[in-house]
Structure 1
């Protein structure tokens, strides 16, 4: 007699899944409308949270709070980190709320809140107001973690890599286009006096125009999400959540036994319903959950250091080791990586991840970005030669960081989603976002402080302006080493038996 799907085998008897169960199926078609709209939501959120990067140092300088040029990097780092402080305290509550209340309302509230705070940031009257607005933007914004939960629930194991590639691509677009727009549209009265004359509205509020554009874009995404996104929170009455290796609800005796006894099955205490997600302590005691979150946090920390250190380095005068770029030129450097990212994320990431698995794809991405960290602070010697050689090198290095950095980042999305079960997916993504926020908060503070410290004229190589970038490279190497402590089971979705 065939076993019912809710039959529980002995939790202590766990055997490896047989090849017949682990066999890869042909990818099922993506639910394109849902994937596109949730990707747009993440693009809008990324845009409004990064549009300030090219001009934040100039804004701090205009506020007049920096007594020395060396203080600008440190104070700018505090503004970038204040967003992460808000995320640190609120990401997990938003994720857990999405497990009990639903994904859709949390997505909508987060994007709406991010759009309002982005608009207000452009009109910040002083340094402290800018700090508070950025912190509030992070606190009200639960979009990033919940979009990953949503995407996990509208895809299966055969097509999730393609879905997460599109999600990562649109997030990357936001991280690239946001700074590009910020660099092009800030200080418009100085750059485009024929359109924005001195004394005009945008001369009095020189950083408001890119933030207004961000508000309009984010509200457009909010409207699209309102009409398209449907609730995906699994029903509370579910008895068994099988990962997408089974092609139908009818299982043979052998398939049922393998599914119920495999290492990717999480056997849970008896309880009447699907009501509550697991607690933080329960989640963090699982090795796969802990290391997946650690990798996401580590990679978030050192990549944001690059995103902060790059404009600080590029704006340095040549005499101090930089290349004397203005905000427009810095914006172009940020945006160039998107060209390589389009090709890679749309056509190459998914087949590579399906062949190598998320873990090996992650490790490869980490290793490929390290040369960019090591080489960048040496490009200033190209400043005195032909301009095209400097731009070519900068584009190559930013392309390496962007393409392979987001390869690694997208792989962490998959590993975090695979590390837990559907019941706790919102909580685990919120928890991952909490630790990533901590890393992104500490990272800019460390990076800005180290960069300011390195500008002291008494510093010599490698403790001069090279030091921050070498520190980022060491952080990447450490992250790679941590990834060696997780096994290949993370490449597959976890099963749940309740």
Structure 2
């Protein structure tokens, strides 16, 4: 059936002169090739936010010890869990609000405010003099840094359709890299007066505040990102200021097109009614699964660092913060190679759901080996621990990235900010229980080294595997459903 000239004209997209979203869409039409600048911008913004989440874990054990709040060494993990969770509890309270702000005011203001909050409150955290100051600064950082949800929507809107999956996967990759680079920085830069006495004296600010240097380094990076964010383009469409002529033209074009294609859409107030996000099962099923995965990943991040630096007599590895940083740096390098070279082919071949499922299944025997790795020493311990850490982080980031893709594909553009706000609220709530729960379980396990059933750290990694097994079961239908356009 031939398409007449009038219909072809009507099918052309109409751009509004003063709409920032239309300007971005028009620019995308003229772009060709890989959008390197856009992807790099997204990567840096997400990395800035992710660095703050877990950079404290390698030195948190020693920080709590220096606060003298724990009565026994076995209780340190209990208090460390609350500090690790405070940022995520703050994010729970405000993520939906930031998603709504992103849908109404734009993605860019949320990104700028989020990066500035890192500069201020992450710096103050490094200057904490007691347990409650550490809790308060982390909590306020979580409340004001609500950019991760909106930036996922931003990633899908900044690039052409054929590169949207790559842009969204960049969010997952940058997030995963941040969760590895952050602890590596924390491990290397904490307690500089002890590690580098020729450079940092004990009377200097870095000697009096031994955990300030890693926070200052991340805050300096965030300051650069904050300044650069002012030049990011806005992708939200704002047509409320359009002229009556533009609106009339749009209505006439829409009516004519509906008539020619014999398509009648139900309209309310001249607009197609928005679908309920809560009733959107492809979205909600991926959100629930993401919550379980996030709970597991955050608990693992907390437990791994506590386990690595705890004494051998308590089932740990007796690593220094620098040793933990080295392990996590190697994991970051392995993750970068995998995400760049192997992940795109893996997800193209198997699909996001199957990749997430396989990653969950492989994680279970891997974690079961950790208590046995602790029995090794020397070079054997180093090789086994690094291989296990690389594999674990590769599998975790692969699962997260695929769930990001499923979530963004489950909603239309005008609801992505709110949808990602829901994702961030639910995910942050579960992640907040991760460090607190992980620290509590770890502290309890260290007091039960001689238990008849799953003694010591065997119990810790067994509980992690139970959570992961639940997540694997949830990847099957009828629970997890993909939206097919």
**Same fold by TM (over 0.5)?**
yes
Instruction: Give the superposition deviation at 1:173.
Output: 2.2
Are 2:352 and 1:358 aligned? yes
Instruction: Give the superposition deviation at 1:273.
Output: 4.1
Q: Look up the match of 1:61.
A: 65
SS of residue matched to 2:457: coil
Counterpart-to-counterpart distance in 1, 2:314 and 2:411: 49
SS of residue matched to 1:284: coil
Q: Deviations over 1:115-145 (max 9, x none)?
A: 2111010001210010011010100011111
- Unaligned stretches of 5+ in structure 1? 8-27, 239-248, 262-266
| Equivalent residue in structure 2 for 1:305, among 299, 305, 308 | 299
Instruction: Give the superposition deviation at 1:269.
Output: 5.4
Instruction: Give the superposition deviation at 1:156.
Output: 4.8
Q: Is residue 99–residue 277 contact of structure 1 (8 Å, CA) maintained in 2? A: no
Counterpart-to-counterpart distance in 2, 1:348 and 1:406: 13
Q: Look up the match of 2:454.
A: 462
Number of residue pairs the alignment of both structures matches: 446
Are 2:432 and 1:436 aligned? no
Q: Look up the match of 1:151.
A: 155
Q: Look up the match of 2:441.
A: 450
| Richer in helix (by share) | 2
- Unaligned stretches of 5+ in structure 2? 12-31, 243-253
Counterpart-to-counterpart distance in 2, 1:235 and 1:352: 38
Instruction: Give the superposition deviation at 1:53.
Output: 1.3
Are 2:395 and 1:414 aligned? no
Counterpart-to-counterpart distance in 2, 1:481 and 1:233: 37
CA RMSD of aligned residues (A): 2.8
Instruction: Give the superposition deviation at 1:436.
Output: 0.6
Q: Look up the match of 1:202.
A: 206
SS of residue matched to 2:331: helix
Q: Look up the match of 1:10.
A: none
Q: Look up the match of 1:482.
A: 474
SS of residue matched to 2:230: helix
Instruction: Give the superposition deviation at 1:316.
Output: 2.2
| Equivalent residue in structure 2 for 1:285, among 274, 279, 282 | 279
Q: Look up the match of 2:308.
A: 314
Instruction: Give the superposition deviation at 1:277.
Output: 6.5
Counterpart-to-counterpart distance in 2, 1:196 and 1:373: 38
Q: Is residue 104–residue 231 contact of structure 1 (8 Å, CA) maintained in 2? A: yes
Instruction: Give the superposition deviation at 1:32.
Output: 2.1
Q: Is residue 110–residue 141 contact of structure 1 (8 Å, CA) maintained in 2? A: yes
Q: Look up the match of 1:323.
A: 317
Counterpart-to-counterpart distance in 2, 1:173 and 1:390: 24
Q: 1:268 to 1:66 in 2, by over 3 A?
A: farther
Higher alpha-carbon deviation: 345-354 or 58-67: 345-354
Counterpart-to-counterpart distance in 1, 2:345 and 2:318: 41
Q: Is residue 168–residue 405 contact of structure 2 (8 Å, CA) maintained in 1? A: yes
Q: TM-score, normalised by structure 2?
A: 0.86
Are 2:350 and 1:343 aligned? no
Q: Look up the match of 1:25.
A: none
1:6-405 equivalences under 5 Å are: 29-227=33-231, 229-236=232-239, 270-273=268-271, 282-383=276-377, 387-405=378-396
Counterpart-to-counterpart distance in 1, 2:75 and 2:236: 47
